[in-house]
Amino acid sequence: MPELPEVESVRTRLAPLLEGRRIEQVEITDPRLTRPLRPQEVARELERELIDCVDRRGKYLIVRFESGRALLVHLRMTGSLLHAPAGTLPDDPHRRAVVRLDDGSDVAYRDVRRFGTWSLLEPADVAAYVDARVGQEPLGGAFRPRDLGARLAKRRAPIKAALLDQRTVAGIGNIYADEALWRARVHPLQPAGALTADEVRAVHRGIRRALEVGIARQGSTLTDYRLPDGSFGRMQTELNVYGRTGEPCRRCGTPIEKIRVGGRGTWYCPRCQRPPQAASSSSSRPSRSRRQSSA
């Protein structure tokens, strides 16, 4: 499932191909993509729009038009975008939409499981729509450890589940949550509100580092994710814990274990990431000194 690094990699590649282009023709063949609006209606509204820029917030790709309107694309599980020069678009049974640009090139949307969404928003609605669904950008300069700490405070949910909540911080999914917690040496089941200030700082740093590495490798292609030229990301061979059951931890050599947290497969190192009950023997909120002495 595409997360921040994957969507950002798509954005980086698509932006120079789309910006300044006018949309000539749009065909949307899957009513699920645009509901509750009819696909023909959205297609007609998109035609003649001039693309100002291709933006991103969390896992949303935001195509902003000169009119002030914006198309919010969410790839969900298996969505991907392919850019093809004029007349080169290959056949694809999983294609759900095609946008023809004024240079003759096509942007095709493919989605095997059909959970992806296209939402065309009026200028006055764009910011409110996004802000209601997505928290701070983790790679932005304004995102500080204390912002993360404030979002986690008083939450009993496991830290892994809290990170998957898009309002905690934008763009983190199952892969990069596990990678961030491994980097931070924090167990995925630790209650979010029980993290010490040091652990919050470590998670903040872990999130940033995991996402930056993901972006540098242009994302993880585990199944369906592709870049807009059809190529794969390269992050999947460099993951530290995600999907590595039984393989040695790259830090300590201990076999990586898999558990379920909030219904999601979760990978961690049982030695680097101490379980919450071992970290706090008697007290429910471990003191920093005890945690350090037990490490």
Q: Does 38 bind Zn ion (CB under 5 A)?
A: no
Count of H-run helices and E-run strands, the chain:
10, 10
- Residue 178, judged by CB atoms within 10 A of its CB (0-12, 13-18, 19+), counts as buried
Binders of Zn ion among 193-252, rule CB under 5 A? 249, 251-252
Residue placing its CB nearer to Zn ion in the complex, 172 or 269? 269
User: Which is the catalytic residue, given 56, 57, 59, 183?
Assistant: 59
Q: Does 75 bind Zn ion (CB under 5 A)?
A: no
Q: Are 273 and 188 in contact (CB under 8 A)?
A: yes
Q: Is 228 a catalytic residue?
A: no
Q: Is 191 a catalytic residue?
A: no
Binding residue (CB under 5 A) for Zn ion from 48, 271, 290, 291: 271
Q: Does 272 bind Zn ion (CB under 5 A)?
A: yes
As measured in angstroms, the least distance from the Cβ of 267 to Zn ion is 11
Q: Does 14 bind Zn ion (CB under 5 A)?
A: no
Q: Does 184 bind Zn ion (CB under 5 A)?
A: no
Q: Are 164 and 174 in contact (CB under 8 A)?
A: yes
Q: Does 269 bind Zn ion (CB under 5 A)?
A: yes
Q: Is 264 a catalytic residue?
A: yes
As measured in angstroms, the least distance from the Cβ of 251 to Zn ion is 4
Long-range contacts of range 217-220, CB-CB < 8 Å, 24 or more positions apart? 217/5, 218/5, 218/9, 219/2, 219/3, 219/5, 219/6, 219/9, 219/10, 220/5, 220/6, 220/175
Q: Are 51 and 23 in contact (CB under 8 A)?
A: yes
* Binding residues for Zn ion (CB under 5 A): 249, 251-252, 254, 269, 271-272
Active site amino acids: 2-3, 59, 264
